[in-house]
C-alpha cells in the first residue's frame, strides 16, 4: 500500500468536513483472484465502474493472506490459479472462517464441476466466457445476501451501526458520514474497548494499490469524532499515540 498522495480520499473531499458523498449499498470492497490479466482487468473495470473498491491478486496463497487480513464484502475466485486449485483455496478460506460470499470463475462447464465448486463453499458460479450484465447481476445478488458469520447490526450505547444499509444511527437519527468514516466506525464498534492499530485501519479502509497520505487516518478520525460529538453520541474515540484508537462508551452522568 503506497503512502503518498490522497487518491483514496477523493470521494470525500480534501478538507475535513467537506465533500462527504451519500453512501449507497452498492459500495463494497471486493477481492478478485484471477491470474489472467485480460479477465482480471475486465472484472476490475466493471466493479470499479459500480463504485466498488477492488483488490486484484493472481496467486492463491497471496489471496488467502489478503482474505485473512481484510474484511471483504465479496471475493471472486478463478478455479485455474497457477499455484493452487481454486477449489482448494475456497475450502481453506471456509476452514479459516472467512465469511465473505465467493463467486467462482471457471472455464469448466460440466455440471459436476459446478457442484464441486458449490460444495467447497462457494456461493455462486460463473462460466467463462461470461456476459458483463450477468457478472454485474451475480455480484449484486451476492452483495445483497447477509453475511454468514457477522452480525449486520451492531449497537453500542445510543449508537446503531447497520452494515447492510451502510448507515449509522444515533437516537433514531441518521449520522451523516462519508464511506471511509462509516467503515472506520464499523471497525471500531466491532473492536469496542480494544485498541485498533493504525495499520489495521489502513488495511480495512484502503485497497492494496491505493495511495494513502500520511495523515489520512487522522483526518478520518477527526471527522468521525466531530460527527459523533455533534450528534451527542454516548461513545467516544480514544487515541493512544503511536499505537492506534479505540471506541468506548461515555454515558452521561445521571441527573442529581
Confidence of residue 7 (pLDDT cuts 50, 70, 90): very low
Residues 175 and 106 in one domain: no
Residues 174 and 206 in one domain: yes
Residues 41 and 131 in one domain: yes
Residue 23 in any domain: the answer is: no
Residue 155 in any domain: the answer is: no
Residues 126 and 217 in one domain: no
- Model confidence at 255: pLDDT above 70: no
In 3D, which of 7, 16, 3 has the Cα closest to residue 227?
16
* SS3 state of residue 145: coil
Give the model's pLDDT for residue 254.
61
* Lateral strand order in the sheet of 153-156: 153-156, 159-162, 167-170, 173-174
Residues 140 and 230 in one domain: no
What is d(CA 63, CA 9) in angstroms, rounded to the nearest whole number? 25
Residues 192 and 132 in one domain: no
Residues 137 and 34 in one domain: yes
- Model confidence at 253: pLDDT above 70: no
Domain C-terminal end among 88, 113, 144 = 144
Residues 117 and 46 in one domain: yes
Residues 170 and 120 in one domain: no
pLDDT tens-digit profile of 46-67? Answer: 999 988 889 999 999 999 988 8
What is d(CA 140, CA 150) in angstroms, rounded to the nearest whole number? 19
Query: Which residues neighbour 139 within 8 Å (Cβ) at sequence distance 6 or greater?
Result: 30, 47, 50, 74, 76, 103
Residues 121 and 184 in one domain: no
The total number of structural domains that make up the chain: 2
CATH code: domain of residue 112: 3.40.50.2300
pLDDT tens-digit profile of 137-177? Answer: 999 888 877 554 455 678 899 999 887 677 899 988 999 99
Domain C-terminal end among 79, 112, 144 = 144
pLDDT tens-digit profile of 234-252? Answer: 999 999 988 899 999 987 6
Q: Which three cell numbers stand for residue 13?
A: 473531499
CATH code: domain of residue 182: 1.10.10.10
pLDDT tens-digit profile of 226-236? Answer: 999 999 999 99
Q: Residue 242: give the domain boundaries.
A: 7-13+166-249
Residues 108 and 180 in one domain: no
User: How far from 78 is each of 62, 81, 126, 229, 241, CA to CA, in Å?
Assistant: 14, 6, 10, 45, 42
Amino acid at each position: 500500500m503506497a503512502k503518498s498522495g490522497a487518491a483514496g480520499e477523493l470521494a470525500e473531499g480534501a478538507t475535513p468536513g467537506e465533500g462527504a458523498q451519500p453512501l449507497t449499498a452498492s459500495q463494497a470492497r471486493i477481492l478478485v483472484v484471477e491470474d489472467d490479466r485480460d479477465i482480471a482487468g475486465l472484472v476490475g473495470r466493471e466493479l470499479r465502474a459500480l463504485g466498488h473498491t477492488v483488490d486484484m491478486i493472481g496467486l492463491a496463497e497471496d489471496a488467502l493472506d489478503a482474505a485473512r487480513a481484510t474484511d471483504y464484502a465479496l471475493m471472486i475466485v478463478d478455479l485455474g490459479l497457477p499455484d493452487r486449485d481454486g477449489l482448494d483455496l475456497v475450502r481453506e478460506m471456509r476452514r479459516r472462517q472467512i465469511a465473505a460470499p465467493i463467486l467462482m470463475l471457471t472455464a469448466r462447464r460440466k455440471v459436476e464441476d459446478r457442484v464441486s465448486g458449490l460444495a467447497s463453499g462457494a456461493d455462486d458460479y460463473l462460466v467463462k466466457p461470461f456476459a458483463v450484465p450477468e457478472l454485474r447481476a451475480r455480484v449484486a445478488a451476492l452483495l445483497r445476501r447477509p453475511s454468514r458469520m457477522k452480525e449486520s447490526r451492531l449497537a453500542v450505547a445510543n449508537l446503531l451501526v447497520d452494515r447492510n444499509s451502510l448507515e449509522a444511527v444515533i437516537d433514531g437519527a441518521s449520522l451523516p458520514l462519508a464511506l471511509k468514516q462509516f467503515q472506520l466506525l464499523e471497525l471500531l464498534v466491532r473492536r469496542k474497548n480494544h485498541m485498533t492499530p493504525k495499520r489495521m485501519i489502513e488495511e480495512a479502509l484502503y485497497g492494496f494499490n491505493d495511495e494513502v497520505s500520511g495523515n489520512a487516518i487522522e483526518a478520518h478520525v477527526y471527522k468521525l469524532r466531530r460527527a459523533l460529538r455533534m450528534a451527542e453520541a454516548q461513545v467516544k474515540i480514544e487515541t493512544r499515540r503511536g499505537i492506534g484508537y479505540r471506541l468506548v462508551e461515555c454515558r452521561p452522568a445521571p441527573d442529581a
